[in-house]
Structure 1
């Protein structure tokens, strides 16, 4: 874990690397009906309230995830576009969500660092607590539902259905903020310090260049 660093993606060069990683990861799987032919960078990546993170090992990008806050006052996120009938009434009630998307991992790096998926998803649970969202959403393939139920105690909110342009059944899962303590009790990897959370989610982009932040699970457990 201590060999991994998080970095919020802000520069054109880093976005190019993230787009190339997404391209490689998504084209390797039979999820979309068509293969992508250029680095996968989208307008949503540059929205003010979008958080795109890269995970680096030995200065090499090995994983990435995009995180968005979803409320009645924010632009639509990927989960909202797929499951608007389910989410619209909840947003009207004032609920707030974290929506992770564009989760990509380097296949070769994952053989060396098998905890990469958990280290990446750790960002979404941390953001859910830090931003006090009601739920973290997971719009995933039906085949992955059992994993999210087992590891995160997720519950199904909608689906399955086959989205246009995709060749898989998708479901919408939710991880309650109240469930994150359960996640931490099962896997200490998800612990963090408030300093880490502030560096990742509260830093003003105009004030500092992108920082590399080490996961602090070990220090948080020692402090506890």
Structure 2
């Protein structure tokens, strides 16, 4: 057992117990953003994904995109991990994924598909080892977003070493081979899953992926002006999705 790690138990038992200690919070205040950008920097330099910098912070232009939701995952009130989610539609396409794999995604967006595009999935390098379930509880937000926005497809930018996790958990398939990620020391492949086709199978294997309509609204609902008027139909479709 790693030093500082809590005793292991089955995922079903530990995951449920940890879930009661987890809060999902939107990253909105200057203080929360600074804490997040510091954690990102520490995580990326720890993983040799970016070179050191004097600011010891990492952010990008997509953090303030109108179609982006950034969350911190807090355990017992402490920030442990984070993820940024982009909702991609024919009218809202801003994300690092569409910039890198536009040749793959733009034709599908032109046909009216809706994608949930997770990005900037990071964990505190000192805290993450305590909870093997943390990646599941973090990526769970992408699954809730697929449900809320009635998405056709969930995407994932994945380094080669992590592709097996996404195949196992979300039944993702690789739809584009690895490309060099801008301003990073890594290549990433584009993976995707048909959300409606895999939904029940994933929820059966990992019950913590289930959620209520109330939880999804609390996480993702915004005033219409915050996500352009053209997207109101997406919210309306999502509102009729039954609770699990």
Answering whether residue 217 of structure 2 is matched by residue 198 of structure 1, we say yes
- Structure 2 distance, partners of 1:121, 1:28, is 20
CA displacement, residues 63-83 of structure 1 (integer Å, 9 cap, x when unaligned): 111111112211421111111
8 Å CA contact 1:15, 1:41 repeated in 2: no
Q: Give per-residue Cα distances to partners, 1:31-55, cap 9 Å, x unaligned.
A: 33x3344312333222332101001
Distance change (3 Å), C-alpha of 1:163 and 1:9: closer
Seen in structure 2, the aligned counterparts of structure 1 residues 161 and 203 have a Cα distance that, compared at 3 Å, is closer
* 17-26 or 41-50, which deviates more: 41-50
The normalised TM-score by structure 1 is 0.85
Partner of 1:66: 84
Give the number of equivalent residue pairs.
Answer: 207
| Residue 198 of structure 2 is aligned to residue 189 of structure 1 | no
SS in structure 2 opposite 1:68?
strand
- Structure scoring higher RCO (CA < 8 A, sep ≥ 6) equals 1
Gaps of 5+ in 1: 207-222
SS across alignment from 1:62: strand
Counterpart Cα distance in 2 of 1:46 and 1:165: 18
| Structure-1 residue corresponding to 2:59 | 41
State whether structure 2 residue 78 is matched by structure 1 residue 86: no
In the alignment, which residue of structure 1 is the partner of 2:3?
none
Q: Is the 8 A contact 2:80 2:124 kept in 1?
A: yes
Using the alignment, how far apart are the partners of 2:29 and 2:43 within structure 1? 21
Q: Which runs of 5+ in 2 are unaligned?
A: 1-18, 226-242
- What is the match of residue 141 of structure 2? 123
Superposition pairs of residues 208-223 of structure 1, within 5 angstroms: none
Asked if residue 159 in structure 1 is aligned to residue 177 in structure 2, the reply is: yes
- Check 1:88–1:16 CA distance in 2 against 1; reply closer, same or farther (3 A cut): same
SS at match of 1:148: helix
- Name the counterpart of 2:28: 10
Paired with 1:122 and 1:29, the residues of 2 have a C-alpha distance of 22
Counterparts in 2 of 1:25 and 1:52: CA distance versus 1, 3 Å: same
Normalised to the residue count of structure 2, the TM-score between the two structures is 0.79
Paired residue for 1:50, among 65, 68, 79?
A: 68
Aligned-CA RMSD value: 2.0
- The secondary structure found in structure 1 opposite 2:201 is helix
